[in-house]
Structure 1
Amino acid sequence: MKAFDPNLGFEILFERTDGDYRQLRQLVFIEQTSRKTGHIPIGEKMTPEELRAAYKRLELTPPLDMYVICGQEEMQWVQELVSATSPGTGFGPGSQGTKIYGSGTPVSFSLAERYFRAVAKIGFHYFLSQFPQYSGHEQKFADIRRYITTGDKDVNRANEFVGERKVPLVGEALGGARPHGWVGHILCADVTNGEYRAHVQTFICEDFQPRIYTILLGRSPHDLANSSAGHAFVYFRGGYHGKFAGEAHPLTPARFEFPPQPLTPVVRSDPSAEPDR
Protein backbone atom coordinates (compact mmCIF):
# COMPACT_ATOMS: atom_id res chain seq x y z
CA MET A 1 0.00 0.00 0.00
CA LYS A 2 1.03 3.60 -0.52
CA ALA A 3 0.64 6.50 1.92
CA PHE A 4 1.87 10.04 2.39
CA ASP A 5 4.65 10.39 4.96
CA PRO A 6 4.41 13.88 6.51
CA ASN A 7 7.98 13.69 7.83
CA LEU A 8 9.46 13.00 4.40
CA GLY A 9 6.96 15.08 2.47
CA PHE A 10 6.07 12.49 -0.18
CA GLU A 11 4.31 9.16 -0.67
CA ILE A 12 6.06 5.93 0.29
CA LEU A 13 5.24 2.23 0.19
CA PHE A 14 4.07 0.46 3.35
CA GLU A 15 3.63 -3.19 4.26
CA ARG A 16 1.61 -4.81 7.03
CA THR A 17 3.09 -7.65 9.09
CA ASP A 18 1.47 -9.20 12.18
CA GLY A 19 -0.68 -6.15 12.81
CA ASP A 20 2.18 -3.65 12.47
CA TYR A 21 2.82 -1.25 9.60
CA ARG A 22 6.30 -0.44 8.38
CA GLN A 23 7.91 1.30 5.48
CA LEU A 24 9.00 -1.07 2.76
CA ARG A 25 12.66 -1.21 1.83
CA GLN A 26 12.54 0.99 -1.25
CA LEU A 27 13.95 3.63 -3.54
CA VAL A 28 11.85 6.73 -4.14
CA PHE A 29 12.48 8.87 -7.22
CA ILE A 30 10.97 12.35 -7.60
CA GLU A 31 11.16 14.46 -10.75
CA GLN A 32 12.55 17.86 -9.78
CA THR A 33 10.33 19.77 -12.21
CA SER A 34 6.95 18.01 -12.04
CA ARG A 35 7.37 16.30 -8.61
CA LYS A 36 6.12 13.07 -10.20
CA THR A 37 7.06 10.20 -7.89
CA GLY A 38 8.07 6.61 -8.57
CA HIS A 39 8.79 3.76 -6.14
CA ILE A 40 10.89 0.61 -6.43
CA PRO A 41 10.63 -2.02 -3.66
CA ILE A 42 14.05 -3.56 -2.99
CA GLY A 43 14.08 -7.32 -2.53
CA GLU A 44 16.91 -9.04 -0.69
CA LYS A 45 17.98 -10.92 -3.83
CA MET A 46 17.43 -8.09 -6.32
CA THR A 47 20.19 -7.81 -8.93
CA PRO A 48 21.49 -4.64 -10.61
CA GLU A 49 19.83 -5.81 -13.84
CA GLU A 50 16.45 -6.15 -12.11
CA LEU A 51 16.81 -2.76 -10.46
CA ARG A 52 17.76 -1.15 -13.77
CA ALA A 53 14.72 -2.70 -15.47
CA ALA A 54 12.42 -1.54 -12.65
CA TYR A 55 13.77 2.00 -12.98
CA LYS A 56 13.11 2.04 -16.73
CA ARG A 57 9.50 1.00 -16.12
CA LEU A 58 8.96 4.14 -14.01
CA GLU A 59 9.42 6.29 -17.15
CA LEU A 60 10.61 9.30 -15.15
CA THR A 61 12.37 12.31 -16.65
CA PRO A 62 15.65 13.55 -15.11
CA PRO A 63 16.76 15.48 -13.16
CA LEU A 64 15.59 13.36 -10.24
CA ASP A 65 15.91 13.30 -6.48
CA MET A 66 16.44 9.78 -5.10
CA TYR A 67 15.69 8.65 -1.56
CA VAL A 68 16.79 5.37 0.02
CA ILE A 69 14.44 4.02 2.70
CA CYS A 70 15.66 1.00 4.63
CA GLY A 71 16.93 -0.08 8.02
CA GLN A 72 20.38 1.00 9.16
CA GLU A 73 21.55 -2.62 9.08
CA GLU A 74 20.53 -2.81 5.40
CA MET A 75 21.96 0.51 4.26
CA GLN A 76 25.35 -0.77 3.12
CA TRP A 77 24.15 -3.52 0.79
CA VAL A 78 21.31 -1.37 -0.58
CA GLN A 79 23.79 1.39 -1.43
CA GLU A 80 26.10 -1.18 -3.01
CA LEU A 81 23.20 -2.43 -5.13
CA VAL A 82 22.41 1.11 -6.29
CA SER A 83 26.07 1.84 -7.02
CA ALA A 84 26.39 -1.38 -9.05
CA THR A 85 23.30 -0.40 -11.02
CA SER A 86 24.37 3.19 -11.60
CA PRO A 87 28.11 3.72 -10.97
CA GLY A 88 28.94 7.17 -9.69
CA THR A 89 25.76 7.57 -7.64
CA GLY A 90 26.46 9.57 -4.49
CA PHE A 91 24.73 9.27 -1.13
CA GLY A 92 24.29 12.27 1.12
CA PRO A 93 23.91 12.28 4.91
CA GLY A 94 20.66 11.76 6.72
CA SER A 95 19.36 8.63 4.99
CA GLN A 96 15.96 7.72 6.37
CA GLY A 97 15.74 4.45 8.27
CA THR A 98 12.70 2.20 8.31
CA LYS A 99 9.91 3.12 10.72
CA ILE A 100 7.56 0.59 12.29
CA TYR A 101 4.06 1.60 13.37
CA GLY A 102 2.69 -0.78 16.00
CA SER A 103 -0.88 -1.97 16.21
CA GLY A 104 -3.00 0.85 17.60
CA THR A 105 -0.53 3.54 16.51
CA PRO A 106 -2.29 6.19 14.40
CA VAL A 107 -0.96 6.40 10.85
CA SER A 108 -2.20 9.15 8.55
CA PHE A 109 -3.10 8.01 5.03
CA SER A 110 -3.93 10.41 2.21
CA LEU A 111 -6.32 8.72 -0.21
CA ALA A 112 -5.81 10.02 -3.72
CA GLU A 113 -8.21 10.07 -6.65
CA ARG A 114 -6.59 6.96 -8.14
CA TYR A 115 -7.39 5.02 -4.97
CA PHE A 116 -11.14 5.52 -5.34
CA ARG A 117 -10.98 4.73 -9.06
CA ALA A 118 -9.27 1.45 -8.15
CA VAL A 119 -12.02 0.66 -5.63
CA ALA A 120 -14.63 1.40 -8.30
CA LYS A 121 -12.83 -0.87 -10.77
CA ILE A 122 -12.71 -3.76 -8.29
CA GLY A 123 -16.43 -3.39 -7.60
CA PHE A 124 -17.38 -3.08 -11.28
CA HIS A 125 -15.40 -6.16 -12.31
CA TYR A 126 -16.88 -8.18 -9.47
CA PHE A 127 -20.41 -7.09 -10.41
CA LEU A 128 -19.87 -8.19 -14.01
CA SER A 129 -18.48 -11.55 -12.86
CA GLN A 130 -21.66 -12.22 -10.87
CA PHE A 131 -24.16 -10.86 -13.39
CA PRO A 132 -22.90 -12.22 -16.73
CA GLN A 133 -25.99 -10.96 -18.54
CA TYR A 134 -24.23 -7.59 -18.56
CA SER A 135 -21.08 -6.97 -20.59
CA GLY A 136 -20.20 -3.66 -18.95
CA HIS A 137 -20.47 -1.85 -22.29
CA GLU A 138 -24.12 -0.93 -21.79
CA GLN A 139 -24.97 2.77 -21.82
CA LYS A 140 -26.16 2.64 -18.20
CA PHE A 141 -22.55 1.92 -17.17
CA ALA A 142 -21.04 4.69 -19.31
CA ASP A 143 -20.41 7.10 -16.42
CA ILE A 144 -18.66 4.58 -14.18
CA ARG A 145 -16.56 3.34 -17.12
CA ARG A 146 -15.48 6.90 -17.88
CA TYR A 147 -14.62 7.58 -14.25
CA ILE A 148 -12.54 4.41 -13.92
CA THR A 149 -10.63 4.85 -17.17
CA THR A 150 -10.05 8.61 -17.26
CA GLY A 151 -10.66 9.83 -13.73
CA ASP A 152 -10.67 13.42 -12.61
CA LYS A 153 -7.98 15.46 -10.86
CA ASP A 154 -10.62 16.59 -8.37
CA VAL A 155 -10.70 13.84 -5.73
CA ASN A 156 -14.15 15.05 -4.63
CA ARG A 157 -15.62 13.55 -7.80
CA ALA A 158 -15.30 10.17 -6.10
CA ASN A 159 -18.41 11.08 -4.09
CA GLU A 160 -20.52 10.71 -7.25
CA PHE A 161 -19.71 7.01 -7.49
CA VAL A 162 -18.17 5.75 -4.25
CA GLY A 163 -19.79 5.96 -0.83
CA GLU A 164 -19.02 4.69 2.65
CA ARG A 165 -21.26 1.93 3.98
CA LYS A 166 -21.87 1.73 7.72
CA VAL A 167 -23.73 -1.60 7.86
CA PRO A 168 -21.36 -4.63 7.83
CA LEU A 169 -21.38 -6.89 4.79
CA VAL A 170 -21.24 -10.02 6.97
CA GLY A 171 -24.05 -10.66 9.43
CA GLU A 172 -21.75 -11.81 12.24
CA ALA A 173 -20.07 -8.40 12.23
CA LEU A 174 -23.33 -6.72 13.26
CA GLY A 175 -22.56 -7.76 16.83
CA GLY A 176 -18.95 -6.61 16.62
CA ALA A 177 -17.42 -9.99 15.73
CA ARG A 178 -14.04 -9.93 14.00
CA PRO A 179 -12.05 -12.52 12.03
CA HIS A 180 -10.37 -15.15 14.18
CA GLY A 181 -6.89 -15.23 12.72
CA TRP A 182 -7.81 -14.99 9.05
CA VAL A 183 -7.23 -12.17 6.57
CA GLY A 184 -9.30 -11.57 3.48
CA HIS A 185 -11.56 -9.40 1.37
CA ILE A 186 -15.35 -9.28 1.00
CA LEU A 187 -17.00 -8.31 -2.27
CA CYS A 188 -20.74 -8.09 -2.88
CA ALA A 189 -22.95 -6.87 -5.69
CA ASP A 190 -26.66 -6.30 -6.12
CA VAL A 191 -29.38 -5.02 -8.39
CA THR A 192 -31.99 -3.28 -6.26
CA ASN A 193 -34.95 -1.26 -7.52
CA GLY A 194 -33.19 -0.34 -10.74
CA GLU A 195 -29.80 0.49 -9.21
CA TYR A 196 -26.62 -1.48 -9.83
CA ARG A 197 -24.22 -1.47 -6.89
CA ALA A 198 -21.08 -3.20 -5.68
CA HIS A 199 -19.65 -3.30 -2.15
CA VAL A 200 -15.95 -3.65 -1.37
CA GLN A 201 -14.11 -4.27 1.90
CA THR A 202 -10.44 -5.23 1.58
CA PHE A 203 -7.85 -6.62 4.01
CA ILE A 204 -10.18 -7.48 6.86
CA CYS A 205 -8.41 -9.01 9.83
CA GLU A 206 -8.68 -9.44 13.57
CA ASP A 207 -7.08 -6.12 14.50
CA PHE A 208 -8.14 -3.97 11.55
CA GLN A 209 -11.64 -3.24 10.29
CA PRO A 210 -11.28 -1.28 7.05
CA ARG A 211 -13.86 0.95 5.49
CA ILE A 212 -16.67 -0.59 3.48
CA TYR A 213 -17.23 1.09 0.13
CA THR A 214 -20.40 1.05 -1.94
CA ILE A 215 -20.00 1.83 -5.64
CA LEU A 216 -22.94 3.14 -7.64
CA LEU A 217 -22.42 1.55 -11.05
CA GLY A 218 -25.53 2.75 -12.84
CA ARG A 219 -29.32 2.96 -12.94
CA SER A 220 -32.09 1.66 -15.13
CA PRO A 221 -35.85 2.23 -14.66
CA HIS A 222 -36.52 -0.99 -16.57
CA ASP A 223 -34.47 -3.45 -14.51
CA LEU A 224 -36.48 -3.88 -11.32
CA ALA A 225 -35.75 -7.57 -10.61
CA ASN A 226 -33.77 -7.59 -7.36
CA SER A 227 -30.79 -9.91 -7.06
CA SER A 228 -27.51 -10.07 -5.12
CA ALA A 229 -24.28 -12.02 -4.69
CA GLY A 230 -21.29 -12.01 -2.37
CA HIS A 231 -17.98 -13.75 -1.68
CA ALA A 232 -15.33 -13.76 1.02
CA PHE A 233 -11.84 -14.11 -0.44
CA VAL A 234 -9.73 -15.56 2.37
CA TYR A 235 -5.95 -15.99 2.34
CA PHE A 236 -4.51 -19.37 3.32
CA ARG A 237 -3.00 -19.14 6.80
CA GLY A 238 0.12 -21.05 5.88
CA GLY A 239 0.94 -19.06 2.77
CA TYR A 240 0.60 -20.10 -0.85
CA HIS A 241 -0.86 -23.48 -1.80
CA GLY A 242 0.83 -24.02 -5.12
CA LYS A 243 -0.09 -21.04 -7.30
CA PHE A 244 -2.94 -19.89 -5.07
CA ALA A 245 -2.86 -17.44 -2.17
CA GLY A 246 -6.36 -18.21 -0.91
CA GLU A 247 -9.85 -19.33 -1.80
CA ALA A 248 -13.28 -17.80 -2.36
CA HIS A 249 -16.25 -18.63 -0.15
CA PRO A 250 -19.76 -17.73 -1.39
CA LEU A 251 -21.90 -15.71 1.00
CA THR A 252 -25.63 -16.15 1.48
CA PRO A 253 -27.27 -12.79 0.73
CA ALA A 254 -29.93 -11.44 3.06
CA ARG A 255 -32.63 -9.56 1.18
CA PHE A 256 -34.40 -6.54 2.60
CA GLU A 257 -37.03 -4.72 0.61
CA PHE A 258 -35.60 -1.28 1.28
CA PRO A 259 -34.84 1.22 -1.47
CA PRO A 260 -31.12 1.91 -2.04
CA GLN A 261 -29.81 4.52 0.37
CA PRO A 262 -27.96 7.65 -0.84
CA LEU A 263 -24.18 7.35 -0.85
CA THR A 264 -22.38 8.68 2.22
CA PRO A 265 -19.48 10.82 0.91
CA VAL A 266 -16.04 9.23 1.15
CA VAL A 267 -14.31 12.58 0.63
CA ARG A 268 -15.26 15.28 3.09
CA SER A 269 -13.94 18.78 2.47
CA ASP A 270 -15.48 20.28 5.61
CA PRO A 271 -12.50 20.83 7.97
CA SER A 272 -14.75 20.23 10.97
CA ALA A 273 -15.70 16.77 9.70
CA GLU A 274 -14.05 13.63 10.95
CA PRO A 275 -10.81 13.12 8.98
CA ASP A 276 -10.59 10.25 6.51
CA ARG A 277 -8.42 7.35 7.62
Structure 2
Amino acid sequence: MARSARPVVHYMATRPDGTVPPTCNHLARYYSGLGETIPTVNLADHIGETVDHPSPGEKWYTDKPFSYFHMYTRPGEILERLEVEERWPVRLWEVEPLGETGNWGNDFAPYWLMSHQIRVVREVEAWRAFGHRGMQVLATLAQLPDLARQWTEEWTADPEGTRRTYTAWEKRVDHTRALTGWAFCRAQYSRREAGLQAANELAGNAAAQAATAAGADPHAVALIQLRARCLVAGQLMFDRIRTGEYEQSIRGLLLGAGLETPAPALA
Protein backbone atom coordinates (compact mmCIF):
# COMPACT_ATOMS: atom_id res chain seq x y z
CA MET A 1 0.00 0.00 0.00
CA ALA A 2 1.43 3.38 -1.02
CA ARG A 3 2.23 5.82 1.73
CA SER A 4 0.12 8.94 1.77
CA ALA A 5 1.96 12.17 1.04
CA ARG A 6 2.60 14.43 4.00
CA PRO A 7 0.36 17.50 3.78
CA VAL A 8 2.15 20.71 2.84
CA VAL A 9 2.10 23.29 5.62
CA HIS A 10 2.68 26.98 4.92
CA TYR A 11 4.27 29.29 7.47
CA MET A 12 4.65 33.02 7.91
CA ALA A 13 6.82 34.90 10.40
CA THR A 14 5.76 38.14 12.04
CA ARG A 15 7.19 40.62 14.47
CA PRO A 16 6.53 39.93 18.18
CA ASP A 17 3.40 42.11 18.04
CA GLY A 18 1.95 39.93 15.27
CA THR A 19 2.40 42.37 12.38
CA VAL A 20 3.79 41.17 9.05
CA PRO A 21 7.12 42.79 8.03
CA PRO A 22 7.44 44.51 4.63
CA THR A 23 8.01 42.44 1.52
CA CYS A 24 10.93 44.69 0.57
CA ASN A 25 12.85 46.47 3.30
CA HIS A 26 14.61 48.76 0.81
CA LEU A 27 11.29 50.06 -0.54
CA ALA A 28 9.90 50.30 2.98
CA ARG A 29 12.78 52.55 4.07
CA TYR A 30 12.45 54.66 0.93
CA TYR A 31 8.72 55.29 1.26
CA SER A 32 8.95 55.74 5.02
CA GLY A 33 11.52 58.45 4.33
CA LEU A 34 8.92 60.17 2.17
CA GLY A 35 6.53 60.15 5.10
CA GLU A 36 4.31 57.31 3.88
CA THR A 37 2.88 54.70 6.22
CA ILE A 38 3.76 51.14 5.23
CA PRO A 39 0.65 48.92 5.40
CA THR A 40 0.71 45.65 7.30
CA VAL A 41 -1.60 43.03 8.77
CA ASN A 42 -1.64 41.73 12.34
CA LEU A 43 -2.09 37.97 12.07
CA ALA A 44 -2.78 37.71 15.80
CA ASP A 45 -6.05 39.56 15.20
CA HIS A 46 -7.24 37.15 12.51
CA ILE A 47 -6.78 33.59 13.76
CA GLY A 48 -9.29 31.38 11.98
CA GLU A 49 -10.17 34.17 9.56
CA THR A 50 -9.59 34.92 5.89
CA VAL A 51 -7.42 37.98 5.28
CA ASP A 52 -7.15 39.97 2.05
CA HIS A 53 -3.88 41.71 1.33
CA PRO A 54 -4.22 45.45 2.08
CA SER A 55 -2.01 46.69 -0.79
CA PRO A 56 -1.59 43.95 -3.42
CA GLY A 57 1.05 44.55 -6.05
CA GLU A 58 1.30 43.16 -9.56
CA LYS A 59 1.57 39.37 -9.50
CA TRP A 60 4.23 38.45 -8.40
CA TYR A 61 6.47 41.47 -8.45
CA THR A 62 7.99 43.22 -5.47
CA ASP A 63 6.77 46.59 -6.68
CA LYS A 64 5.63 47.93 -3.30
CA PRO A 65 6.99 47.79 0.24
CA PHE A 66 4.29 45.22 1.05
CA SER A 67 3.27 43.53 -2.20
CA TYR A 68 2.01 40.07 -1.25
CA PHE A 69 1.81 37.52 1.53
CA HIS A 70 5.06 35.56 1.49
CA MET A 71 4.85 32.00 2.83
CA TYR A 72 7.33 29.19 3.34
CA THR A 73 6.91 25.43 3.24
CA ARG A 74 10.33 25.00 4.89
CA PRO A 75 10.25 26.87 8.20
CA GLY A 76 14.04 26.68 8.57
CA GLU A 77 14.31 29.27 5.78
CA ILE A 78 11.59 31.61 6.99
CA LEU A 79 14.01 34.15 8.50
CA GLU A 80 15.99 34.66 5.28
CA ARG A 81 14.38 37.91 4.07
CA LEU A 82 13.90 39.58 7.44
CA GLU A 83 16.07 42.50 8.47
CA VAL A 84 18.87 41.42 10.80
CA GLU A 85 17.32 43.23 13.76
CA GLU A 86 13.94 41.56 13.07
CA ARG A 87 15.13 37.96 12.76
CA TRP A 88 14.57 37.26 16.43
CA PRO A 89 12.37 37.20 18.33
CA VAL A 90 9.55 36.40 15.92
CA ARG A 91 6.18 34.73 16.02
CA LEU A 92 5.37 31.92 13.63
CA TRP A 93 2.01 31.20 12.04
CA GLU A 94 0.50 28.39 10.04
CA VAL A 95 -1.48 29.88 7.18
CA GLU A 96 -3.43 28.59 4.20
CA PRO A 97 -2.96 30.33 0.85
CA LEU A 98 -6.22 31.13 -0.91
CA GLY A 99 -6.97 32.12 -4.48
CA GLU A 100 -4.23 32.43 -7.07
CA THR A 101 -0.71 31.72 -5.87
CA GLY A 102 2.69 32.22 -7.43
CA ASN A 103 6.41 31.76 -7.14
CA TRP A 104 9.51 33.03 -8.93
CA GLY A 105 10.11 29.69 -10.59
CA ASN A 106 10.62 26.25 -9.11
CA ASP A 107 14.40 26.50 -9.43
CA PHE A 108 14.45 29.66 -7.33
CA ALA A 109 13.45 29.07 -3.73
CA PRO A 110 10.86 26.34 -4.44
CA TYR A 111 9.81 26.53 -0.78
CA TRP A 112 8.38 30.04 -1.33
CA LEU A 113 4.75 30.77 -2.11
CA MET A 114 3.02 34.10 -2.63
CA SER A 115 -0.65 35.03 -2.55
CA HIS A 116 -2.94 37.98 -2.01
CA GLN A 117 -5.27 36.14 0.33
CA ILE A 118 -4.67 33.77 3.24
CA ARG A 119 -6.47 32.08 6.06
CA VAL A 120 -4.68 32.30 9.41
CA VAL A 121 -4.88 28.78 10.80
CA ARG A 122 -3.02 29.05 14.11
CA GLU A 123 0.11 30.25 15.85
CA VAL A 124 2.85 27.63 16.15
CA GLU A 125 6.04 27.36 18.18
CA ALA A 126 8.62 29.97 17.22
CA TRP A 127 11.50 27.49 17.51
CA ARG A 128 10.40 26.00 14.19
CA ALA A 129 11.98 29.02 12.47
CA PHE A 130 15.36 27.37 13.09
CA GLY A 131 14.28 24.11 11.49
CA HIS A 132 13.96 20.56 12.73
CA ARG A 133 16.19 21.05 15.79
CA GLY A 134 15.02 24.50 16.74
CA MET A 135 14.19 23.50 20.32
CA GLN A 136 17.78 22.43 20.92
CA VAL A 137 19.07 25.64 19.35
CA LEU A 138 16.92 27.85 21.57
CA ALA A 139 17.96 25.89 24.65
CA THR A 140 21.63 26.38 23.73
CA LEU A 141 21.16 30.09 23.05
CA ALA A 142 19.55 30.48 26.47
CA GLN A 143 22.58 28.85 28.11
CA LEU A 144 25.20 30.86 26.24
CA PRO A 145 25.50 33.86 28.59
CA ASP A 146 26.31 31.53 31.50
CA LEU A 147 28.58 29.39 29.33
CA ALA A 148 30.46 32.44 28.04
CA ARG A 149 31.03 33.66 31.59
CA GLN A 150 32.28 30.19 32.55
CA TRP A 151 34.64 30.11 29.56
CA THR A 152 35.92 33.57 30.48
CA GLU A 153 36.62 32.44 34.04
CA GLU A 154 38.58 29.46 32.71
CA TRP A 155 40.55 31.79 30.45
CA THR A 156 41.30 34.15 33.34
CA ALA A 157 42.46 31.27 35.55
CA ASP A 158 45.01 30.05 32.97
CA PRO A 159 45.45 32.63 30.20
CA GLU A 160 48.38 31.04 28.38
CA GLY A 161 47.17 27.46 28.58
CA THR A 162 43.65 28.39 27.52
CA ARG A 163 44.95 30.52 24.66
CA ARG A 164 46.98 27.57 23.35
CA THR A 165 43.99 25.26 23.66
CA TYR A 166 41.65 27.61 21.80
CA THR A 167 44.23 28.37 19.12
CA ALA A 168 44.78 24.66 18.43
CA TRP A 169 41.01 24.08 18.28
CA GLU A 170 40.49 27.11 16.02
CA LYS A 171 43.10 25.78 13.59
CA ARG A 172 41.28 22.43 13.38
CA VAL A 173 37.94 24.17 12.84
CA ASP A 174 39.48 26.29 10.08
CA HIS A 175 41.40 23.42 8.46
CA THR A 176 38.36 21.13 8.30
CA ARG A 177 35.95 23.99 7.46
CA ALA A 178 33.69 22.54 10.12
CA LEU A 179 31.57 25.70 10.39
CA THR A 180 31.99 27.46 7.04
CA GLY A 181 31.85 24.27 4.99
CA TRP A 182 30.23 21.33 6.70
CA ALA A 183 27.62 23.09 8.80
CA PHE A 184 26.55 25.66 6.22
CA CYS A 185 26.53 23.24 3.28
CA ARG A 186 24.44 20.72 5.19
CA ALA A 187 22.16 23.55 6.31
CA GLN A 188 21.62 24.56 2.68
CA TYR A 189 20.85 20.99 1.69
CA SER A 190 18.37 20.48 4.53
CA ARG A 191 16.72 23.91 4.09
CA ARG A 192 17.96 25.38 7.37
CA GLU A 193 20.38 27.95 6.00
CA ALA A 194 18.47 31.01 7.22
CA GLY A 195 17.95 29.38 10.61
CA LEU A 196 21.66 28.67 10.90
CA GLN A 197 22.59 32.22 9.89
CA ALA A 198 20.25 33.67 12.50
CA ALA A 199 21.43 31.27 15.21
CA ASN A 200 25.04 32.02 14.32
CA GLU A 201 24.52 35.74 14.78
CA LEU A 202 22.50 35.39 17.98
CA ALA A 203 25.12 33.07 19.48
CA GLY A 204 28.00 35.38 18.61
CA ASN A 205 26.26 38.41 20.06
CA ALA A 206 25.23 36.66 23.28
CA ALA A 207 28.70 35.25 23.86
CA ALA A 208 30.44 38.54 23.10
CA GLN A 209 28.25 40.53 25.48
CA ALA A 210 28.68 38.06 28.34
CA ALA A 211 32.43 37.56 27.84
CA THR A 212 33.09 41.29 27.53
CA ALA A 213 31.08 42.01 30.67
CA ALA A 214 33.08 39.31 32.48
CA GLY A 215 36.33 41.06 31.58
CA ALA A 216 37.65 39.00 28.66
CA ASP A 217 40.18 40.68 26.38
CA PRO A 218 39.27 41.19 22.69
CA HIS A 219 41.19 38.12 21.48
CA ALA A 220 39.50 35.92 24.06
CA VAL A 221 36.11 37.39 23.17
CA ALA A 222 36.63 36.56 19.49
CA LEU A 223 37.49 32.93 20.23
CA ILE A 224 34.64 32.56 22.72
CA GLN A 225 32.32 33.93 20.03
CA LEU A 226 33.61 31.32 17.60
CA ARG A 227 33.04 28.59 20.17
CA ALA A 228 29.46 29.79 20.69
CA ARG A 229 28.74 29.90 16.96
CA CYS A 230 30.15 26.44 16.46
CA LEU A 231 28.15 25.11 19.39
CA VAL A 232 24.79 26.25 18.04
CA ALA A 233 25.75 25.04 14.56
CA GLY A 234 26.62 21.64 16.00
CA GLN A 235 23.27 21.50 17.77
CA LEU A 236 21.29 22.64 14.74
CA MET A 237 23.02 20.24 12.34
CA PHE A 238 23.50 17.39 14.81
CA ASP A 239 21.32 15.05 12.76
CA ARG A 240 22.97 15.98 9.44
CA ILE A 241 26.67 15.62 10.30
CA ARG A 242 26.75 12.11 11.64
CA THR A 243 27.71 9.54 8.98
CA GLY A 244 30.98 7.78 9.66
CA GLU A 245 33.87 8.50 11.95
CA TYR A 246 35.11 11.59 10.11
CA GLU A 247 31.75 13.37 10.07
CA GLN A 248 31.31 12.58 13.74
CA SER A 249 34.72 14.15 14.41
CA ILE A 250 33.57 17.29 12.58
CA ARG A 251 30.44 17.38 14.70
CA GLY A 252 32.59 16.92 17.78
CA LEU A 253 34.72 19.92 16.79
CA LEU A 254 31.61 22.05 16.44
CA LEU A 255 30.43 20.95 19.87
CA GLY A 256 33.78 21.89 21.42
CA ALA A 257 35.84 18.71 21.38
CA GLY A 258 39.42 19.57 22.29
CA LEU A 259 38.56 22.55 24.47
CA GLU A 260 38.18 20.61 27.71
CA THR A 261 41.91 19.92 28.24
CA PRO A 262 44.57 22.65 28.06
CA ALA A 263 46.99 22.19 25.18
CA PRO A 264 50.61 21.52 26.20
CA ALA A 265 53.10 24.34 25.95
CA LEU A 266 55.36 24.24 22.92
CA ALA A 267 58.99 23.39 23.59
- Structure with more of its chain in strand, by fraction: 1
TM range (shorter): under 0.3
TM-score, length-scaled by structure 1: 0.24
